[in-house]
Amino acid sequence: MSQDLANLIPTHHWIWADLAYPTETWCVVPFKKLHGGQLTHRQNIYNHYLSKVCVRVEHAFAALKGHFQSLWELRLKMDKDNDLHVAVYWIISCMILHNMII
């Protein structure tokens, strides 16, 4: 599955994800404390700022979902590049409409 996602993400692009996803060149995840180990100060700072970004993104999606019911269950099968583009364009359209509303 992760290879399928990697094929859908353009070169030099990446996504934020939680620890359920693998650390890949296309996937930015927080540092995980190993059993009995500690994170470095820099790793803790990185995790802190990544967490802040993730919270902001979640709030943005919640605001969009509050205005557009179609985003509650955007069920698209992501088999090809074109499928990803449809989802992205749908979400961008909702973002533009949201900005026009406010």
pLDDT of residue 54: 85
The predicted structure's pLDDT at residue 2: 54
Reported pTM: 0.62
Predicted pLDDT at 45 = 96
pLDDT value of residue 32: 87
Q: How many CB atoms lie within 10 A of CB 63?
A: 13
* CB distance 101 to 67 below 8 Å: yes
Q: How many residues does the chain have?
A: 102
Residue 16: name the closest of 59, 47, 40, 41 by CA.
47
The whole-number pLDDT of residue 5 equals 62
What is the distance between the alpha carbons of residues 74 and 29, in angstroms, rounded to a whole number? 24
**What pLDDT shows up at residue 75?**
72
pLDDT along the chain (102 residues), means of 10: 66 82 84 88 94 88 86 74 79 89 84
Q: Quote the pLDDT of residue 47.
A: 92
